[in-house]
Every structure is written in structure tokens, then in C-alpha cells.
């Protein structure tokens, strides 16, 4: 008689394809099908569901589930989850993101789920909010950890922020995000597909959601100052900033670019399918975020061997531990970002050194195989 499969339900609030969604996708599609039966419960957004369907992974869609707080919709989501858990009786529910973490952990407890795991991909109290909002979010995050049997943190910095909270001892586990082999396009091919008429220029680039947390306004301001400073040189005239991604900040960023008369030199490419395979197009990769947990974008840029400049926030220093691997700048510091960009552009040998070092460091320390094995161990523990 065949041994019963472990039934795992992944839950996530939004069905777009940011870092938390990639984490869900990678885990759900990597578990051995002989041992695990997998389903994913998600809310608004279509990209994640499409990718899961391509892998023949069952998707349960809750249309009323959204990121913003809405008491009526949230109440409906809670009872929908309770009904699903009672009917389906999963062995494990694995929660991702704050909203579904709170609703799912409580519904799971009431439904008698024996193993509830919550992954903290970042704390909402790190975002710019009022003191009262931060306190309320911290309390709700603590409740989620209490209702869950185990909480996974994707970086040491996230763990450090909550390790002194009451009754968390023994509930916290560090498991870094990991990446698998990526079939990167060659530099010339990537550039020709993205911007063929700019293929011979110097590309500063990033891949990010157009969201305030990503600090793209800071990058645009620093780049504008850099171009003005370097226009007297041949390099200055060849500089271009290429931003891949889409989001709510598009109109604001477009206005910034227009006001600075940098249309055509700062290019918002929008959403690009499987954007990471184009990373070799960039001479320098920049992640100027105001807040981060443990960004896949840096793991992928490092794996591609692209020189990196990033904000010193969250788990970023765990990816770039010192200057041999890349440059860290204080968040929201336009002057330091401009200075770091100029240094990285001028110092060819330094770009080559960090490129080699970060590529080896990522491949040695942040593998998909390790992430999946450590997570499976939690499921079976």
C-alpha cells in the first residue's frame, strides 16, 4: 500500500510575482510529487496562478482576498479559509505575507491544523508609518507568530528584530532564500532584445516593482546628479539608467524623469517576462530600497556576476558582507549613492573584482536545493 502523501497548502495574499510569490512558487514546484500533495491559496493578481498552472499545481482563488484592510472582505476570507481547512484537512499550512498570516494562522488553529508555518518575508512595521500604526502591526505580527507553530525568517536581520519578543523562543528558524541555475542571455543578446539602439552604451539598471519601498525616486535623483557631473567626459554621455518593472509609482517616476529632462536617458521598460535572464545587459545593478528583507533580485544579479550597489537595509548586508562583494550605501542617501555610482563606473578593476567575488559567494551560500531541503525538514519535523 502506497504511503499517504503529506498535504501542504501554501497561502499568500497577492498573486503577482514579487519576492514572496517567487518563494511560494519555488517551494510548491520543487517538492517531490511522490511525497507531497500541494495546493496554493491566493488572492488578487494573475501571474503567480498562471505559473502554478503551468506546473500543474492546484490553485484555490479567493477573490475577496486583497492587501488592504477591509473588515467585510477579511471576515469573508477568514470563514472561507476555515471552511477549506475543515474540508480539505491539510497536514501543513504554510503562510506567506502579513495579511494572510494573521487570518490563516487563526483559521488554521480553529480548524485543528497540526502544523502551521509562517514565513516572514519582511515586517510591515519597517515601512514609513505612524508610531501607533507600527505598534499595532508589531502586535498583530506577534499574534501571527503565536498562532503559528513555527516561523521562518529569510534573514538574520528579520530574526534579530523579533527574537526578544515574548514567547518566541523555539519558534523561530532562519532559512535563507535560495536560487537555482539561471540561463542568462549574453550581454549583446540581452541588450539587443531590450533596447537595440542603446546596445553600445553604459547601462546602470535594476529590476524592481515601481513601489515607494524600492527607492527608485532616490536612484533617479542620484543618476540625474551623476549625469550632470560627468557630462564633461565621454563616459557621461554614454550613461543610461534602465528600470525593469511595473507598479503604482509609474506616473510619479515618469514626471520626475520629464522634469529633469532625462527622457530617453532614463528608461522605464515596464514588465518584462522572466526579467532576470536579461541581467547581463547591465554594467552595474542598483537596488536603492528603503526597506528589504532578503531580495531575490540581488541573489540573481550576484549569480549573474553583475557589480552591485545596494542600500544597507534588512538582509542586504548578509548578501554583500563587505566591499569585496559590492558597495552598500545608507538608505535614502542620494549623495552617497551618486558617489558610489561614480566610483563603480570609473574603477573598471573594482567592478571586475566584485563581479567575480559576488558570483562565487551567491553560488556557494544561497542555493535553491538547500532552501528546499531545510523547509522540507520543517514540514517533517
Reported as a single tens digit per residue, the pLDDT across 204-224 is 999 999 999 999 999 999 999
Q: From edge to edge, which strands make up the β-sheet containing 266-270?
A: 266-270, 239-244, 202-207, 284-287, 308-311, 327-329
Specify if 12 maps to a domain.
yes
Contacts of 352 (CB under 8 A, 6+ apart): none
Q: What's the pLDDT score for residue 236?
A: 72
> What is the rounded average pLDDT for all residues in the chain?
94
Q: Which CATH number do you get for residue 109?
A: 3.40.50.2000
CA distances to 207, 299, 303, 348 from 325, rounded to whole Å, are 19, 12, 12, 14
Greater pLDDT, 301 or 136:
301
167 and 192 share a domain?
A: no
358 and 312 share a domain?
A: yes
Greater pLDDT, 135 or 220:
220
312 pLDDT higher than 60:
yes
For 37, other C-beta atoms within 10 Å of its C-beta total 16
CA distances to 50, 108, 136, 325, 380 from 7, rounded to whole Å, are 21, 14, 33, 41, 11
Query: What is the pTM for the complete model shown?
Result: 0.91
275 and 376 share a domain?
A: no
Q: What's the pLDDT score for residue 278?
A: 98
State how many domains the chain has: 2
pLDDT tier, 2 (very low <50, low <70, confident <90, very high otherwise): low
Q: How far is it, in rounded angstroms, from Cα 44 to Cα 47?
A: 10
191, burial (CB in 10 Å: exposed 0-12, middle 13-18, buried 19+): buried
Specify if 246 maps to a domain.
yes
1 pLDDT higher than 60:
no
Specify if 126 maps to a domain.
yes
Torsional class of 215: left (φ above 0), alpha (ψ -120 to 50), beta (otherwise): left
pLDDT (mean) for 236-249: 92
Domain region containing 251: 187-365
89 and 202 share a domain?
A: no
Specify if 75 maps to a domain.
yes
pLDDT tier, 64 (very low <50, low <70, confident <90, very high otherwise): confident
Specify if 318 maps to a domain.
yes
219 and 336 share a domain?
A: yes
200 and 276 share a domain?
A: yes
153 and 195 share a domain?
A: no
The Cα angle at residue 379 between residues 376 and 381, in degrees rounded to 5 = 105
CA dihedral 135, 137, 139, 141 (to 10 degrees): -150
Contacts of 345 (CB under 8 A, 6+ apart): 202, 230, 235, 239, 283, 284
C-alpha cell of 271? 514588465
66 and 198 share a domain?
A: no
144 and 204 share a domain?
A: no
pLDDT tier, 18 (very low <50, low <70, confident <90, very high otherwise): confident
pLDDT (mean) for 48-77: 88
200 and 127 share a domain?
A: no
374 and 310 share a domain?
A: no
45 and 109 share a domain?
A: yes
Q: What's the pLDDT score for residue 263?
A: 95
Could you tell me which of 249, 232, 256, 233 has the C-alpha nearest to residue 241? Answer: 256
Specify if 157 maps to a domain.
yes
Specify if 165 maps to a domain.
yes
28 pLDDT higher than 60:
yes
Specify if 1 maps to a domain.
no
The Cα angle at residue 217 between residues 214 and 220, in degrees rounded to 5 = 115
Over the stretch 66-123, which tens digit does the pLDDT of each residue have? 767 677 788 999 999 999 999 999 999 999 988 899 999 999 999 999 999 999 998 8
Amino acid at each position: 500500500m502506497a504511503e499517504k502523501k503529506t498535504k501542504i497548502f501554501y497561502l499568500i495574499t497577492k498573486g503577482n510575482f514579487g519576492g514572496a510569490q517567487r518563494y511560494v512558487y519555488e517551494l510548491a514546484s520543487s517538492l517531490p510529487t511522490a511525497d507531497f500533495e500541494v495546493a496554493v491559496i491566493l488572492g488578487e493578481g494573475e501571474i503567480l496562478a498562471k505559473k502554478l498552472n503551468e506546473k500543474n499545481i492546484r490553485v484555490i482563488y479567493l477573490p475577496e482576498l486583497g492587501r488592504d484592510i477591509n473588515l467585510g472582505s477579511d471576515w469573508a476570507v477568514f470563514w472561507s479559509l476555515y471552511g477549506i481547512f475543515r474540508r480539505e484537512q491539510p497536514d501543513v499550512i504554510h503562510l506567506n505575507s502579513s495579511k494572510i498570516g494573521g487570518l490563516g494562522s487563526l483559521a488554521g488553529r480553529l480548524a485543528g491544523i497540526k502544523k502551521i508555518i509562517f514565513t516572514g518575508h519582511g515586517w510591515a512595521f519597517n515601512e514609513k508609518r505612524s508610531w501607533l500604526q507600527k505598534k499595532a502591526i508589531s502586535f498583530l505580527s506577534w499574534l501571527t507568530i503565536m498562532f503559528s507553530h513555527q516561523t521562518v525568517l529569510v534573514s538574520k536581520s528579520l530574526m534579530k528584530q523579533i527574537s526578544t519578543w515574548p514567547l518566541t523562543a523555539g519558534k523561530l528558524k532562519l532559512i535563507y532564500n535560495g536560487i537555482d541555475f539561471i540561463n542568462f542571455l549574453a550581454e549583446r543578446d540581452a541588450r539587443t532584445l531590450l533596447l537595440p539602439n542603446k546596445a553600445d552604451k553604459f547601462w546602470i539598471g535594476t529590476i524592481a516593482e515601481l513601489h515607494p519601498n524600492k527607492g527608485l525616486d532616490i536612484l533617479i535623483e542620484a543618476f540625474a546628479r551623476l549625469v550632470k557631473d560627468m557630462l564633461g567626459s565621454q563616459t557621461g554621455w554614454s550613461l543610461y539608467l534602465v528600470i525593469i518593472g511595473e507598479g503604482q509609482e509609474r506616473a510619479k517616476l515618469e514626471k520626475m524623469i520629464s522634469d529633469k529632462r532625462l527622457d530617453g536617458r532614463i528608461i522605464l521598460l515596464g514588465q518584462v517576462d522572466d526579467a532576470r535572464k536579461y541581467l547581463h545587459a547591465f554594467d552595474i545593478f542598483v537596488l536603492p530600497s528603503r526597506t528589504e528583507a532578503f531580495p531575490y533580485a540581488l541573489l540573481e544579479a550576484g549569480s549573474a556576476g553583475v557589480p552591485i550597489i545596494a542600500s544597507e537595509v534588512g538582509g542586504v548586508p548578509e548578501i554583500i558582507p563587505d566591499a569585496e562583494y559590492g558597495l552598500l550605501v545608507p538608505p535614502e542617501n542620494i549623495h552617497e549613492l551618486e558617489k558610489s555610482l561614480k566610483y563603480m563606473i570609473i574603477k573598471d578593476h573594482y567592478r571586475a573584482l566584485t563581479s567575480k567575488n559576488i558570483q562565487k559567494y551567491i553560488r556557494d551560500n544561497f542555493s535553491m536545493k538547500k532552501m528546499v531541503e531545510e523547509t522540507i525538514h520543517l514540514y517533517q519535523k
